[in-house]
Structure 1
Amino acid sequence: MHELVTDVIDVNAEFAVARKALWDLLLEPQTYPRLFAGIGACELIDTGPDSRIANVRIGTAESGIRTHQLLLTVRRWYESLELQCPGTGSFVSIRLRGDEERTKIVVTVFAAGRLHPAIAEQSNAVVVAWVNKGLRRALDVIRGARTSTVVNAENSPLRRQVSVAKQMVTVGVGRTANLATGVKQVRSLTKWGFNLAGGYAAAAAHAPDRIAVIDDHGTRTFAEMHTRTSALAGAMARLDLGFGDTIGLLARNHAGMVECMVAAGKLGVDVALLNVGLSGRQIEDIVQRHRLAALFVDGDLEQLVRYLHADLHRFNTDGHPPAPHRSTIDDLIAQGHTEFHRPSRAGRLIVLTSGTSGTPKGARRPQPKGFATIAALLSRIPLPMEQPMLIPAPLFHTWGLAGLQISTPLRATVVLPGRFDAEDCLRLVAEHRVASMIVVPTMVNRILDLPAAVRARYDTSSLRAVVSCGAPLAGATVLRFMDAYGDILYNVYGSTEVSWATIATPEDLRTAPTTAGRPPLGTRVAVLGPDQRPVPVGVTGHIFVGNHMLFDGYVNSAPPAEADGMLDTGDLGYLDVAGRLFVAGRDDEMIISGGENVFPRPVEEALAHLPQVSEVAVVGVPDQEFGQRLAAFVVKREGAGLDSDMIRAYIRHRLSRFSVPRDVTFLPSLPRGETGKIIKQVLTGPQAGEAALPPSLGGPHLFT
């Protein structure tokens, strides 16, 4: 049995590095959670010429997490500093001696055991080793060690296969009541593949009468989905649609939209999923670029395609045709043509990129690679078998589509609201005893914005997982949601091009609320420098991702940069000592102000902590003096007293002077696309003041 940690511990070390380089790292509180294990997050509260004040989160979800205020004070520049924790009386003294070649460092730790019970149970040797490991990682940063790569079985096919098998057994995917049912499932997957068509066919073989889809109009069983989509595929074939053709699908979430995707897949026809927030002109460009052979459109979206060439066949998807002569998919299914040639390859789904940094591009999504695809997500998110799943995220978006794809092997009943409304979402959870919910971050915010009395009306105790993807979740939002609904929030970081990259579990988010998480099974994440080689842990670089679900390329555009089998996400970020990824922002969002690299996201995170702020977006704008500067667009909570000077003073004390937004604009809402992502170029465009206001983009109904 070891001796418990004492009140005073000295750590002495000597390194062949310049003193100033080591000093510069240790002077900034943000360094510590990146390089020292057990420190989950650091939030700057105030900065001064010789001091910093920060809140740090120490511990893990298992051992408990404590938030302490830390005061960093310079005693003698380049020679000594102190880290004090007034709340516990603990402190760390750091003294440096040396020159441009070697540095001696003495670290004195006082009352470390008061910071957390888990530390108090350790020995002096454990604390000494912890300090030394953190210092060595600081040396890695100075020396440029290539350590920013984290792999979850991506380079080991055998380990990956074993892990997939274990995951499937644990969850129960593939479990059958008898041999005959199991044979039917395997035959369905063999015939149609591991895609939506195969998923619904296999589920129909296992549980034909189980409800597959609930939408605003009614329900469909798995057997009905399989039968109807085969009839729809047959009708499409009679219309001379087949392998090599592409159709456009412009619809909101409902069973008819799902049936179009499944039927086209059975026939080998590709489907371009059109964002319902696109303009008529953008849709016309996509029709020409993809050479669409037909359009399947919801009735109330018909105005978006009314000026397209009359020879382009149109079919109604939701049973509400704009004119009596317009054929619906129910009309096509009623023809009863179930015979068609099965192609050698199933039809692919083409998802449009968000277009927040340019014109939306069509990205071909790959077919899921057997059970490995679902095993990857389930390795980080324990979605339950045969339990209802609510998908308010739009199916034309990569994340909504991913939720639908994963629902079929789980044999989950999918609840599809046509439009998102925060209160209605809670009502659906209570009514259908929903176990999992697939959302985008704006939906999380909208739910939290509901009055507490409204949220209390609905029993959400059935929820086991609320999974968010599509944009960053503010750390303040993460903690508010989990405090309200329990530790059931998961944050997925990915893109149309790479599918998933990392997943943050509730444990990750409790420890480090702004993290994007760790890679799931079969995924490799690396942070690379300009030479496309890994940077040190804790250093910001370009995020690259490799897995078996990388996209099959754009339809008419060059693919993103590639390095060692990984694709560039277009984002900048860093890995911490625990292998957690943190996203700093898009590489094209970083600005250079007065020679300093400045990211908007830390400013957005800081402002999100203000109770008067409902939403915020920060962007870079040209500046004659500094080259570029930050501009903040803020949505205040009702009745909040907040002005531009308060915003600027708040950021000035928390971040660098280059992070202070010189322009602060208050808006009633922020411009958002149909997936809830803020369209920042609208804020800085020539019509910025007017374009930010349409209720269809920022009002209570996100997907109207």
Structure 2
Amino acid sequence: MHLSRLFQRSVRMFGDRPALARGAAPALTYAALDLRVRALARWLREDQQLQPGDRVVLAMKNCTEYAVALLALWHARLCAVPVNNKLHPSEIGYVLENSGARLCFSQGALHEALGPLATQTSVRLVDVQGPAWQAALAGSALPADAGVHGGDGELAWLFYTSGTTGRPKGVMLSHANLVAMALNFHADVLTIDERDALLHVAPMSHGGGLYGIPYWMHGGLQVVPESGGLDEAELFALLHHYPRASMFAAPTIVTRMVQHARGLPPVAAQERCPGLRCLFTGGAPFYVEDVKAAVACFGPRVAQMYGQGETPMTITALRAERIAQAVAEGDDTLLASVGWEQTAVEVDILDADGAPVPPDTLGEVVVRSPTVMLGYWNNPEATAQAMPGGALRTGDVGLVDARGLLHLKDRSKDVIISGGTNIYPREVEEALLRHPAVEEVSVIGTPDAEWGEAVTAFVVRRAGAAVDEAALDQLCIDSIARFKRPKHYVFVPQLPKNPTGKVLKSELRKNYRPAALSVHA
């Protein structure tokens, strides 16, 4: 099914319902949003002479224009190329060139910074706050059935990976991939209807932006905060304004929300954010102690999913009620997992030779699903390596236990090999986070002349709290095998992260300085 056809279905079903709002301002209805979408689509196809399959870059922070542009691109049978608005212009320039984009939507200071690129390439730059955009919205509209002629195999979303191991690769996702993602969301994360609202706090250029699809499929409202991002006071006000609001939140966002809530007058969890229906989190490890803190703060309203850009938001999931039950029962094993396979997903754990392994045995997580990408843009070698036989090799190391729960240990490239023994950083991180003075921690392997690699922990202390290496070392000795405990500790004010809140271990490795370490034999 083509996404444009699905949106037109929603326009017919929910025409008078609110569809898109900025903050607490009055919302556009589905009928009003549709007029803007189809007018912009006509401008793209007729005035800009773009053809089906052409790529258009979206380089802007969260805003209502983002949602309009995305729907218009699909109605015009064009492909969206989202980029993080915090990237350097030269990094965005690489995406513009590699994708062969014909046009780029941007805004504000970033629009000005990208100006020189427009003169160096054939890409046309359009400010979504400028007169060309306004004129396009005021023009005539493409017919409602203009997009229905597209097939579900057409390219809808070309997402560039973070590029931590080289140049970013363009992940090709079709309309069919994104529809399958949305249906899995309804089946396994949250069942929604026209009373629900989605708050776009996480970057719309990443997976969180795609969650608009399951919402407008069922007549829900999308809300973009005035700030365009995370402002705790603004967010909590919106969670008082909207009665059934949910949001995608990376674990770091959830942690910031918990910290903000702790500074407010004490109230019952359900009264703290009365409009909050569900926090669905993913994109980075969600540690057991952080899960417990979030449930204690917000009640049974915290869900989790695991996915990758190559199978967006869709590999495994845990509904909020299952997480709350596990917290109540002290089921740390479930809380340490990333859940069960989503409905239309097959997960296998394979050894180095590609053979399945028994339950509770480590191997690489391999996925088959209608959500798995078509491949990497103009990169058949990388596609063949990542998708032998059509299954996605995620690069994640994990195991499936007797209950069918998937447990991730680490990215295969993050496994520490010390003295010939594999050590999985997440296990060490979970142990260190049990100390009440530890706010955040990230564990990597650093060069060691004797052992090959040494376990090194970068630790962020809680504000006003004190903890030293000896206390952390003893904590590890008491809870994990002695050889797994860190050999080095580095206390830092913060951890480097990407826009989705994932810790950039590559930056920790790059900035590693042996002289800064405390060493434990």
TM-score past 0.5 threshold: yes
Trace 1:426-505 onto structure 2 (pairs within 5 A): 426-454=236-264, 456=266, 459-499=272-312, 500-505=314-319
Give the direction of change, closer, same or farther, for the CA distance of 1:489–1:273 in structure 2 (3 Å limit): same
Q: Aligned match of 1:332 in 136, 141, 155?
A: 136
1:562 alignment partner in structure 2: 387
How far, CA to CA, are the matches of 1:687 and 1:221 in structure 2?
Answer: 52
Equivalent pair of 1:391/1:415 in contact (CA under 8 Å): yes
2:479 matched to which residue of 1? 654
- Deviation of residue 591 (structure 1)? 1.5
Residue 366 of structure 2 aligns to a residue whose secondary structure is: strand
SS in 1 for 2:254: helix
Q: What is the aligned counterpart of 1:670 among 476, 479, 495?
A: 495
Could you say which residue in structure 2 is the equivalent of 1:208?
A: 15
Report how far residue 494 of structure 1 moved: 0.7
Secondary structure of residue in 2 paired with 1:365: strand
Q: Which residue of 1 aligns with 2:510?
A: 685
Pair 244,451 (structure 1): closer, same or farther in 2 beyond 3 Å:
closer
Alpha carbons 2:261, 2:272 under 8 Å: kept: no
Corresponding position of 1:89: none
- 1: CA distance, partners of 2:175 / 2:112: 32
Q: Which is worse superposed, 366-375 or 536-545?
A: 366-375
Cα distance in 1 for partners of 2:450, 2:232 equals 44
Q: Which residue of 2 aligns with 1:602?
A: 427
Name 2:150's counterpart in structure 1.
344
2:72 matched to 1:263?
yes
CA contact (8 A) 1:441 1:471 kept: yes
2:465 paired with 1:640: yes
Aligned pair in 2 of structure 1 residues 529, 313: CA closer, same or farther (>3 Å)? same
Alignment of 1:173-184 (within 5 A): none
Deviations 1:344-385 (A, max 9, x none): 345511112233444322111121369755442222223221
How many corresponding residue pairs? 488
Q: Contact 1:423–1:455 at 8 Å: present in 2 too?
A: no
1: CA distance, partners of 2:355 / 2:424: 22
Q: How does 1:56-95 map to 2 (within 5 A)?
A: none
Q: For the Cα contact (< 8 Å) 2:155–2:173, is it kept in 1? A: no
Post-superposition offset of 1:294: 1.2
Structure 2 residue runs without a partner (length 5+) = 515-521
Matched, 1:359 2:167: yes
Matched, 1:383 2:191: yes
**Is structure 2 residue 119 aligned with structure 1 residue 315?**
no
Q: 1:579: Cα distance to partner?
A: 0.3
Conserved? CA contact 1:426–1:455, under 8 Å: no
SS in 1 for 2:185: helix
Distance 1:669 1:371, change over 3 A: closer
Matching residue's letter, 1:659: K
Judge conservation of contact 1:379–1:521 (CA < 8 Å) in 2.
Answer: yes
* 1:255 to 1:615, Cα distance in 2 relative to 1, 3 A: same
2:437 maps to: 612
Look up the equivalent residue of 1:636 and give its one-letter code.
R
Aligned counterparts of 2:509 and 2:177: Cα–Cα separation in 1: 42
Structure 1 455/297 Cα, relative in aligned 2: closer, same or farther at 3 Å?
Answer: farther
How many angstroms does 1:337 deviate by?
5.0
Q: How big is each residue's C-alpha offset from its partner over 1:229-283, in whole Å with a ceiling of 9 and x where there is no partner?
A: 1110111121111213211111122221111111111112212101122112211
Matches of 1:465 and 1:194 in 2, distance apart?
Answer: 28
Match of 1:543 among 349, 362, 365: 365
Q: Is 302-311 or 241-250 further displaced after alignment?
A: 302-311
Contact kept, 8 Å, 1:384 with 1:435, in 2: the verdict is: no
Contact 2:272 2:298 in 1 (8 A): no
The letter of the residue matching 2:234 is D
- TM-score between both structures, scaled by the size of structure 1: 0.66
Distance in 1, Cα, partners of 2:132 & 2:444: 45
| Distance in 2 (alpha carbons) for counterparts of 1:265 and 1:371 | 13
Which whole-Å deviations, capped at 9, do the CAs of 1:308-343 have from their partners, x for residues lacking one?
1415311112x2x4xxxxx44222222335369655
**Judging changes above 3 Å, is the alpha-carbon distance between structure 1 residues 219 and 371 closer, same or farther for their aligned structure 2 residues?**
same
Aligned amino acid, residue 126 of structure 2:
F
**Structure 1 counterpart of 2:175, which letter?**
Q
CA contact (8 A) 2:433 2:440 kept: yes
**Secondary structure of 1:379's partner?**
helix
Indicate if the aligned counterparts of 1:535 and 1:541 stay in contact, CA closer than 8 A.
Answer: yes
TM-score normalised to the size of structure 2?
0.88
What is the alpha-carbon distance in structure 2 between the residues aligned to residue 373 and residue 525 of structure 1?
A: 16
Matched with 2:36 is 228
Structural mapping, 1:97-246, within 5 Å: 193-195=1-3, 197-216=4-23, 219-237=27-45, 238-246=47-55
Letter paired with 1:305: L
- AA of the residue aligned to 1:204: V
Which amino acid letter does the alignment assign opposite residue 462 of structure 2? R
Name the % identity.
26
Match of 2:518 in 1: none
2-structure distance, mates of 1:309, 1:553: 28
Deviates more, 1:587-596 or 1:636-645: 636-645
- Shift in Å, 1:228: 0.6
Structure number with larger C-alpha Rg: 1
AA partner of residue 505 (structure 1)? R
Counterpart CA distance in 2 for 1:450 and 1:358 is 37
Whether contact under 8 Å (2:341, 2:347) holds in the other structure is yes
Amino acid at match of 2:97: Q
Higher-helix-fraction structure: 2
Q: Does 1:573 align with 2:398?
A: yes
Letter in 2 for 1:229: V
Aligned with 2:233 (options 423, 436, 441): 423
CA distances 1:135-156 after superposition (whole Å, capped 9, x unpaired): xxxxxxxxxxxxxxxxxxxxxx
CA spacing shift, 1:304–1:534, aligned 2, 3 Å: farther
